[in-house]
């Protein structure tokens, strides 16, 4: 799929059919993730792909009751190793939040191109996710997404007009 | 361009021809940025597009001497308003670093699809950038990129194999 079509087609999907994600689609999506750029090419990421029904169900309360995540074939949990990331982004932060966001963005766009649905989950309780999946102390959980066959076709959300976000030479 | 081709074709470009970025290409790229998802759809972003030669040159020392940024037709400075972002990402952070990374990722992929070059600049001194562009206190500078016609075709950087970054059910 054309990149602009994938960007337009990508919506947050909150209703899923239970059908499995075919292996060839998953492979292409994860290859898109693998090729994502990151600060100093640190690739400070680990992705846990949860297909087990009991584990998916256990993740729901840790995602503040967002039950639709367990409908999808997969829940993907994106983790970052702070120490592997660029330590001086902008002179004030480590790059891992940016790195993981880029990789997950590749995932979302590839999913849209494959006709699959995904949804950035930002509302979650990190210690509960870590407990359920036995994620070690040196990793942060940065985001989650279900990945599966969409059972809805939501309308695009509004966006600010370009003249509120783009400025030539100065603000 | 197919999204997977854009992902494969995107490389950090550190050498540019001075030719201008055509308006239709810039419009498509910025529309891709505008459509990026963000936490609670906050869209906490402002993009400053610098074309003025003196300003581009002034930005070089603030980017630790990365002189190639001033070769490109444009330098794009991505800023975030913390207050407009989702305040409780994962229960421990604000979403603006993720939001800006997603928007800039859209920019990078669209640039690749248009045959243009870009390069994530993470090594910069935020107070100096803010001073040069008179960016107000309530905005953070999260990243920069040149945008222009590539004058090199760099080899892909190595990536970790999938089995080091992708795990089923648990790490």
- CB contacts of B118 in chain A (<8 Å) are none
User: What is the widest separation between alpha-carbon atoms in chain B?
Assistant: 53
Dihedral angle over CA of A161, A166, A167, A171, nearest 10: 90
Residue A156, in any domain of the structure:
no
Is the residue at B61 inside a domain?
A: yes
pLDDT, position A125: 98
Q: Flag whether B168 is in a domain.
A: no
pTM: 0.98
Phi, psi of B122, rounded to the nearest 5 degrees: -105, -20
In a domain, A111, yes or no: yes
What percent of chain B lies above the pLDDT cut of 90? 100
pLDDT tens for A138-168 read 999 999 999 999 999 999 999 999 999 999 9
Query: Does B167 contact A105 at a Cβ distance shorter than 8 Å?
Result: no
In a domain, A90, yes or no: yes
Residues 1-40 of A with CB under 8 A from B: 1-4, 6-8, 10, 12, 28, 30-37, 39-40
Contacts 24+ apart (CB under 8 A), B20-26: B20/B73, B21/B73, B21/B74, B21/B116, B21/B147, B21/B148, B21/B149, B25/B114, B25/B116, B26/B74, B26/B147
Count of domains in chain A? 1
Q: State whether residue A167 sits within 8 Å of chain B by CB.
A: yes
Find residues 92-111 of chain A whose CB sits inside 8 Å of chain B: 92-93, 95, 97-102, 104-106, 108-110
CA nearest to B29 within chain A: A4
ipTM for the predicted complex: 0.98
In chain B, the percentage of residues whose pLDDT exceeds 70 is: 100
Instruction: Find the CB nearest A141 among B90, B106, B120.
Output: B90
The parent domain of residue A67 ranges over 12-151
A6 part of a folded domain = no
A123 is a domain residue:
yes
pLDDT tens string B54-92: 999 999 999 999 999 999 999 999 999 999 999 999 999
At B66 the pLDDT is 98
Contact B23, A168 (CB under 8 A): no
CATH number at residue A102: 3.40.109.10
Confidence of residue A103 (pLDDT cuts 50, 70, 90): very high
Q: Is residue B62 part of a domain?
A: yes
pLDDT of residue B94: 98
């Amino acid at each position: 799929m054309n990149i602009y079509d994938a960007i337009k087609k990508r919506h947050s999907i909150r209703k899923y059919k239970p059908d499995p994600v075919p292996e060839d689609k998953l492979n292409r999506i994860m290859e898109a993730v693998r090729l994502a750029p990151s600060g100093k090419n640190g690739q400070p990421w680990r992705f846990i792909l949860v297909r087990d029904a009991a584990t998916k169900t256990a993740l729901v309360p840790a995602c503040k009751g967002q039950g639709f995540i367990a409908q999808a074939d997969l829940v993907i949990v994106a983790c970052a190793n702070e120490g592997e990331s660029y330590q001086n982004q902008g002179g004030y932060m480590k790059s891992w939040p940016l790195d993981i966001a880029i990789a997950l963005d590749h995932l979302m766009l590839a999913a849209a191109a494959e006709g699959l649905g995904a949804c950035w989950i930002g509302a979650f309780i990190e210690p509960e996710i870590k407990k359920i999946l036995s994620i070690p102390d040196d990793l942060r959980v940065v985001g989650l997404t279900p990945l599966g066959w969409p059972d809805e076709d939501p309308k695009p959300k509004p966006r600010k007009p370009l003249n509120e976000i783009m400025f030539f030479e100065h603000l």
